[in-house]
């Protein structure tokens, strides 16, 4: 669909699969109506050639969406008006194959499944490219030192490689969830007025199976008109995509601040490096929890057909599909072109004056003065270093209360300096990177 057809905000929120627009829904509903006609003809319940006629007439561009919208006010949903409009476009003989035995919910629910399949497929592809880009970052920057940050404060050193490995694990898990939902939670919906397909007599289950076959959707054991778990299972899988991407986007937006400047998105302005993709991902992700909550709340549906709860699902479901798909496109582009400034990372780490290594020094001194006193001494020295602008090593080595004890224990200035070397206090960073990369390769 052309960008202008997606609306004023479409370039941000429907950049991937458009599963929330009127045209997308109309196309999906017409696809279901045409497939039903083919299923009926295959079952011997519609005249020969009727399905071809219905399929050729089921072209979204030939229908007046505004008129269908007005008619939906009379019936509570757009399907009755759509069925009448489709009937008028075919012969009297073929009209016998239009919407026969179906409820409006059958058409809309099955259309939702088609939209979900398309959105999850494209999202999985984009997410896979984003994950591959992150894997490359993890490999390239396996040993790139930077300040670790906890509670938005400087912590012990890490590598950008292990940061990227953390991103990779989240993206891979989100993609794994998408695959599960696409393979196990999609299904055709076909139950008629009350989920019994009574109007078909003994032929109902066969028509249902043929409809599923026509649409290449799984055929569930029975209709799911008021059993809505699959709706928010699919939506949750897409919400996990936005959650994983939002973590990456938030990190990128923070690391891209001028005061930090450790990463930059490709194509940033010369005078102001706005992290446009990160911001767009966050804008998509922030909308999803409320939409998902609406779907979960709508799972309480009465008897065989719900009064209002089903209606409440339509927009949130389509919006989640579009937002997650758009976020994945933004993530693919952001991570594929991310510039990492290792020089700035090193400079920021050096500017910390050794303070991020206070924990390591404290562990060294604990062998001399005991753990609690070592902690207090290093904390005092760190405070002095922060206040004076001097490196932590200078303050420690000039502390009279430590000088004699260090000498007696044989701890030299060289050992103190070694304890303040970020490269010597990275723990299992390298092992964790290897594990994340191995898991990514195994997922394929």
Q: Is the pLDDT of residue 407 over 80?
A: no
Which CATH number is 303's domain given?
Answer: 1.20.200.10
365 and 285, same structural domain? no
Average pLDDT over residues 308-329: 97
Q: Is the pLDDT of residue 403 over 90?
A: no
Average pLDDT over residues 167-193: 98
Q: How high is the pLDDT of residue 396? A: 81
363 and 325, same structural domain? no
Average pLDDT over residues 126-132: 98
291 and 179, same structural domain? yes
Tell me the pLDDT band of 268, cut-offs 50, 70 and 90.
low
Average pLDDT over residues 153-175: 97
What is the domain extent for residue 414?
355-419
Hunting for tokens 């390239």 — which residue is that? 140
360 and 333, same structural domain? no
Q: How high is the pLDDT of residue 379? A: 87
Tell me the pLDDT band of 3, cut-offs 50, 70 and 90.
very low
Q: How high is the pLDDT of residue 218? A: 98
Q: Is the pLDDT of residue 313 over 60?
A: yes
Average pLDDT over residues 358-365: 88
| Sign of the Cα pseudo-torsion (56, 60, 62, 65, in order) | positive
Q: Is this model's pTM higher than 0.75 or not?
A: yes
Total domain count, the chain: 2
259 and 330, same structural domain? yes
> Is 248 part of a structural domain of the chain?
yes
Tell me the pLDDT band of 134, cut-offs 50, 70 and 90.
very high
Q: Is the pLDDT of residue 380 over 80?
A: yes
290 and 162, same structural domain? yes
Q: Which residue has the higher pLDDT, 400 or 359?
A: 359
Q: How high is the pLDDT of residue 1? A: 44
Integer Cα distance of 61 and 27 in angstroms: 9
Tell me the pLDDT band of 4, cut-offs 50, 70 and 90.
very low
Convert the pLDDT of each residue in 212-258 to its tens digit. 999 999 999 999 999 999 999 999 999 999 999 999 999 999 999 99
Tell me the pLDDT band of 269, cut-offs 50, 70 and 90.
low
244 and 132, same structural domain? yes
> Is 433 part of a structural domain of the chain?
no
Tell me the pLDDT band of 34, cut-offs 50, 70 and 90.
very high
User: Mean pLDDT for the chain?
Assistant: 93
Q: Is the pLDDT of residue 413 over 90?
A: no
Q: Is the pLDDT of residue 43 over 70?
A: yes
234 and 108, same structural domain? yes
> Is 429 part of a structural domain of the chain?
no
Convert the pLDDT of each residue in 184-222 to its tens digit. 999 999 999 999 999 999 999 999 999 999 999 999 999
379 and 243, same structural domain? no
Integer Cα distance of 224 and 203 in angstroms: 19
76 and 8, same structural domain? yes
Q: Is the pLDDT of residue 2 over 60?
A: no
Q: How high is the pLDDT of residue 412? A: 83
Integer Cα distance of 403 and 258 in angstroms: 40
> Is 424 part of a structural domain of the chain?
no
Tell me the pLDDT band of 385, cut-offs 50, 70 and 90.
confident
- Which of 259, 169, 187 has the alpha carbon at shortest distance from 223? 187
Per DSSP bridges, beta strands 145-150 and 153-159 are antiparallel
Q: Which residue, 302, 323, 346, sits at the end of a domain?
A: 346
316 and 359, same structural domain? no
């Amino acid at each position: 669909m052309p960008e202008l057809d997606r609306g004023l905000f479409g370039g941000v929120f429907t950049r991937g699969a458009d599963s929330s627009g009127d045209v997308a829904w109309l196309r999906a509903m017409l696809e279901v109506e045409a497939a039903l006609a083919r299923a009926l003809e295959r079952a011997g319940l519609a005249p020969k050639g009727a399905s071809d006629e219905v399929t050729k007439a089921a072209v979204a561009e030939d229908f007046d969406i505004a008129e269908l919208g007005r008619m939906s006010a009379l019936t509570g949903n757009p399907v009755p008006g759509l069925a009448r409009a489709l009937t008028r476009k075919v012969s009297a003989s073929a009209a016998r194959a239009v919407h026969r035995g179906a409820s409006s919910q059958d058409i809309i629910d099955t259309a939702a499944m088609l939209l979900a399949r398309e959105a999850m497929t494209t999202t999985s592809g984009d997410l896979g490219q984003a994950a591959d880009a992150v894997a490359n970052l993890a490999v390239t920057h396996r040993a790139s030192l930077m300040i670790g940050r906890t509670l938005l404060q400087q912590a012990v050193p890490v590598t950008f490689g292990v940061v990227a490995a953390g991103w990779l694990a989240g993206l891979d898990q989100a993609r794994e969830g998408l695959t599960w939902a696409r393979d196990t939670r999609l299904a055709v919906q076909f139950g008629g007025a009350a989920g019994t397909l009574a109007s078909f007599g003994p032929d109902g289950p066969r028509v249902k199976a043929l409809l599923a076959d026509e649409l290449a959707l799984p055929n569930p054991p029975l209709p799911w008109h008021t059993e809505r778990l699959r709706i928010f299972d699919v939506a949750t899988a897409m919400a996990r995509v936005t959650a994983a991407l939002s973590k990456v986007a938030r990190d990128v937006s923070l690391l891209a601040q001028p005061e930090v400047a450790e990463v930059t998105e490709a194509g940033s302005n010369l005078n102001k490096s706005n992290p446009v993709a990160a911001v767009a991902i966050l804008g998509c992700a922030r909308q999803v929890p409320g939409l998902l909550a609406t779907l979960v709340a709508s799972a309480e549906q009465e008897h065989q057909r719900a009064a209002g709860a089903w209606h409440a699902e339509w927009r949130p479901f389509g919006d989640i599909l579009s937002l997650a798909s758009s976020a994945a496109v933004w993530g693919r582009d952001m991570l594929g072109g991310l510039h990492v400034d290792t020089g700035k990372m090193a400079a920021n780490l050096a500017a910390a004056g050794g303070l991020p290594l206070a924990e390591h020094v404290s562990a060294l001194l604990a062998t001399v003065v005991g753990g609690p006193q070592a902690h207090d001494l290093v904390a005092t020295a760190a405070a002095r270093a922060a206040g004076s602008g001097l490196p932590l090593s200078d303050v420690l080595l000039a502390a009279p209360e430590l000088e004699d004890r260090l000498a007696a224990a044989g701890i030299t200035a060289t050992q103190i300096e070694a304890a303040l070397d970020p490269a010597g206090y990275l723990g299992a960073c390298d092992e964790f990177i290897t594990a994340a990369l191995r898991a990514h390769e195994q997922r394929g």
